Chain A
């Protein structure tokens, strides 16, 4: 099934459906009759699209779905899912999709309690982070529904392999990727010009340290921000990205811990070098301070994920023309310049009484280009559905980035042979151990090797996993 890419013919008809799709959305408040007729058109188009892909069980063909589908999510994804919910309801008049903004991190406590109580008391559909999903699957067998049984496998090829596999166990999949954190590298063209640095000459992270020093001398600004005190769980995102750029992760493919490999020490040393050069600002990974550091112009570079492109364009309109983007530098010359460092998923509760409708909503929202584009337009989250990355509406040159097309840059990542990342069910503990190690290195000047070895030992005793090669 992995090879099943959507045929060209289907993409054309999907394109037709897309325009109808968005019209249907804007007119939703119009007369009922008109809404109904639009719903018919949307339904027909999707049917057409579904027929194009021979083996697809047509979701709209039964047309008998009914009842309520409750979805739990948080701020931005909620608004995106509401777009999909409205369109889904048009297509299935018998179904009401109720998307609830539970808040984050509140959502995790709420879901975990239901999982631990035997998978009861959960909504039909849940938005689950990559740091939770494998843990849920591993620890609570009655929690998430096996989506392979509902026909999810046919969509496998539409998503980055590592992200898809991170929600799978024993070949069965429990979540469909919603948004992904695909590495992105944004820089302030004006500040770099002032420092006389040419970003195109930067091939490796070591080169970047020199640029950072030049920027600091010329402008007094920091090169980039890191959440040194790890106020947030994902404070070590950059470390993880550097590790992934070397084809490695916290765990190897058999699940053994690989936190003190030469590659890991190298990744932490790069971060230490940046910090020792005095070019790292201490910026909390929490949203508001993080945004402030960018809008205030405190940093010359944002080494984060692709979705930053959308945020810059929508939230910091007055900085238009000041930004450029590229893929991150490699760790070693010629190495990978791409990584997928995180993702969220939509999953269905095993206990859902409306499993079929819940699954069809997930399928509707996440596996179709037209849904994903409409959602992207609303919320700007970077979709996991890779074919969207190549559609004309997604890849538009932007004045904001001086005529560069942000998404075209990221599409290049697809061409790189990214190794599959084994996030495992203990990713949350690994994150904690790693962010603590990073804090020790950045705030107390600890030795990267020693800090990582200690983290590795602690992780091993916490999880009962063995240390690779140890």
Chain B
């Protein structure tokens, strides 16, 4: 999405700098208490992830030893090597990344267009269209798997990237988020643009969207994570191991017999790294994006 918006002055999306309060012994004690409580909470939350990273550096036998492993071992590269060489995991990571990146850009585009239409235009059928999109939220996905599979058969699209990409491009929460955000765009701005001879397409991409970078960043995170982690549909729609995504490849590592947990947890660790990086890069925008978007009344 960011490629569509022309570069503008940096919109600072970081939360407003906290006001400085009077420093004193009581304040210092409060700072320590609050930070300590929050840090303990954070440690509890991060502990499982820490253990996962540690476990990925051990062999299966070490992982199931007692007491459990708590410090890094030396099997990580071997685990990773067997994943990549024996299980073709590198290919799965590349597939996932490509699919998630393309999905983020295209779905972002689709959701932005729809959100804008719902926010800034009055037109016949608006209520019905919005209702239809929200209805997709209430129907459980499991029940649509088989008919969707049939559609892909008709199109001859099984085992293709478009089979994974297309069905979920119209992401209801994304449309909702963009609509809420764009409600805040003043109508006067649009009217002024039109008077200046600005076309409707340029109005959206040249004037409205550049003011909404944080919302776009939030949308991008949602879309990327949703696609990166999607499991059941890719499992069913992808057929050859060459086209597997990361979750599907991970599921194939689990059998009913011996499972190599070192390998499996190394794969799990690798699987969350790209998602975590995307989140890290966009998180400052994300907080502000939600701020300008979903929670407006």
Contacts and interface: CB of A to CB of B under 8 A. Distances in A.
Question: Do chains A and B make direct contact within the complex (CB under 8 angstroms)?
Answer: yes
Interface residues of A, number: 24
A109 interface: yes
Interface string B155-195: 00010000000000000000000000000000000000000
Contact of A102 (B150, B252, B256, B258): B252
Interface stretch (B15-23, B232-240, B287-295): B232-240
A118 B235 contact: no
Contacts of B34: none
B64 A288 contact: yes
A75 B259 CA distance: 9
A3 interface: no
B248 A292 contact: no
A121 B248 contact: no
Nearest to A100: B241
Interface in A113-155: 113-114, 116-118, 120-121, 123
A74 B153 contact: no
Interface residues of B, number: 25
Contacts, number: 68
A106 interface: yes
B258 A75 contact: yes
Interface in B240-281: 240-241, 248, 251-259, 261
A63 interface: no
Nearest to A381: B257
Contacts of A117: 146, 149-150, 153
A347 to B, nearest CB: 17
A76 interface: yes
A170 interface: no
Interface in A208-242: none
B158 A76 contact: no
A103 B153 contact: no
A291 B259 CA distance: 11
A271 B235 CA distance: 39
B255 A288 contact: no
Interface in B51-73: 64
A315 interface: yes
Contact of A103 (B149, B152, B253): B253
A19 to B, nearest CB: 28
A124 to B, nearest CB: 12
A27 interface: no
Contacts of A109: 232, 235-236
Contacts of A103: 251-255
B97 to A, nearest CB: 21
Contacts of A74: 255-256
B236 A104 contact: no
B140 to A, nearest CB: 15
B252 A121 contact: no
Contacts of B94: none
A100 B258 CA distance: 17
B145 interface: yes
Among B150, B153, B235, B257, max chain A CB count under 10 A is at B257
A292 B5 CA distance: 57
B236 A113 contact: yes
> Which of B149, B256, B258, B259 neighbours the largest number of chain A CB atoms within 10 Å of its CB?
B256
Nearest to B159: A121
Given A120-B153, A288-B261, A113 B145 contact: yes
Contact of A118 (B150, B236, B254, B258): B150
Nearest to A123: B239
A116 B150 CA distance: 9
Interface centre among B64, B146, B149, B255 (most CB of A within 10 A): B255
Contact of B252 (A106, A114, A292, A315): A106
Given A109-B236, A110-B236, A118-B150, A315 B255 contact: no
Contacts of A387: none
A292 B63 CA distance: 12
Contact of B255 (A75, A114, A118, A291): A75
B149 A288 contact: no
A227 B256 CA distance: 15
A436 B37 CA distance: 43
A287 B258 contact: yes
Given A100-B241, A117-B150, A110 B256 contact: no
B125 to A, nearest CB: 32
Interface of A: 74-76, 100-104, 106, 109-110, 113-114, 116-118, 120-121, 123, 287-288, 291-292, 315
Minimum-distance CB pairs A-B, first 5:
A75-B255, A103-B252, A106-B251, A113-B236, A116-B146
Interface of B: 64, 145-146, 149-150, 152-153, 158, 232, 235-236, 239-241, 248, 251-259, 261
6 contacts: A75-B257, A100-B241, A103-B255, A106-B251, A113-B145, A292-B64
